[in-house]
Structure 1
Amino acid sequence: MDIGNRIQEIRKASNMTGKELAEKIDISPSFISAIENNTSKLSLSTLRKICDALEVTLSEFFNEKTEVVDAKLLSVIKSMPEEKKWQLFNFLDGLFSSSEE
């Protein structure tokens, strides 16, 4: 797996610049660039901070079969109160039910 490319992919899907990501985890933008270009290695703790800032779990990060948008949706849904999850479910159910008619 190309770790740097995966970070960049998720960062861009999150509409975040390298500078914004760097500021969120208190490292230099040039270090983020070096990581994304695979010219610098990173520790597991830094990767965890990056994942937290991008709102994806390490599991989602390493699961290349999961599309970035899927991972982002799951992350948002997991953080929602139960009542909001049901509202979202009912909305989506209605959306897809009406499109089948």
Structure 2
Amino acid sequence: MDIGNKIAFLREQAGLTGSALASKVGLNQSQICKIEKGVCNPSISTLRKICDALGISLPQFFNGESLEEMPLHLQRLLAQAKKLSPEEVQQLSNLLEVMLAKKEVKKEDI
């Protein structure tokens, strides 16, 4: 997947419009559209701003498992988590840790 397509995919997964992403990054919508269509490539500085707006790091953009490679249920979970506040994300993380700890205890009991 090329850079533009990956940005478009991640933007849609984040629930952002092209206009909303452009606003967060400090570009206009036509520039985002050109990047997503592969007409032009973003500078590293612009790509870093796009990644920040999408909630990922630059290394994750290039090296991380792409969302389309994740199972659908994990894609949905991630999309939902992105809609939460930082405090809600922390609460969700705490809940998952408790659930996993309970699961580990059950394994040890067997």
**Hey, what does 2:72 align to over in structure 1?**
none
User: Which one of 97, 101, 105 corresponds to residue 89 of structure 1?
Assistant: 97
CA contact (8 A) 2:25 2:53 kept: yes
> Partners of 1:40 and 1:26 in 2: how far apart?
17
Q: TM-score when scaled to structure 2?
A: 0.66
Give SS of 2:50's match: helix
**Hey, what does 1:10 align to over in structure 2?**
10
CA deviation profile, 1:53-73 (whole Å, cap 9, x unmatched):
000111111126342649x58
CA drift of 1:89 comes to 1.8
CA deviation profile, 1:24-56 (whole Å, cap 9, x unmatched):
111110000000000012110000000000001
> Partners of 1:91 and 1:12 in 2: how far apart?
30
Percent identity over the alignment is 37
> Partners of 2:35 and 2:61 in 1: how far apart?
15
After superposing on structure 2, the runs of 4+ consecutive aligned residues of structure 1 that deviate more than 2 Å are: 63-70, 83-88, 91-95
Q: TM-score when scaled to structure 1?
A: 0.71
> Partners of 1:64 and 1:45 in 2: how far apart?
19
Unaligned runs of 5+ in 2: 69-74
Max Rg structure: 2
> Partners of 2:19 and 2:95 in 1: how far apart?
35
